[in-house]
Amino acid sequence: MPRHEFQPGKLVAGLFLTATGVVYAGDAVGLWDIPWFAVIPLVLGGLCLAGATAVLARAIRGRGGAEEGQR
């Protein structure tokens, strides 16, 4: 099975979207009361942080990182 390249931007985005789901699941169960618009800063903040993480990872790896792994 071929190994996939680690992409930290997707990891950060997934963590924030999972956290958003946990917050709304807790609201649905009745553990706490979350306003409907709380999803906006969670998702947008997570996507912005994921984009910054992806750019930083790309800068650290350099331009040839993706091409070197595809032999």
For residues 55, 59, 62, 68, the Cα torsion angle rounded to the nearest 10 degrees is -40
- What per-residue confidence (pLDDT) applies to 4? 85
> Is residue 13 packed enough to be buried (19+ CB in 10 Å), middle (13-18) or exposed (0-12)?
buried
- Token pair 């169960």 is at which residue? 29
From residue 66, how far is each of 10, 53, 59, 70 by CA, in Å? 16, 16, 12, 7
Closest CA to 56 of 17, 16, 9: 9
pLDDT per residue as tens digits for the range 15-67? 999 999 999 999 999 999 999 899 999 999 999 999 999 999 999 988 765 55
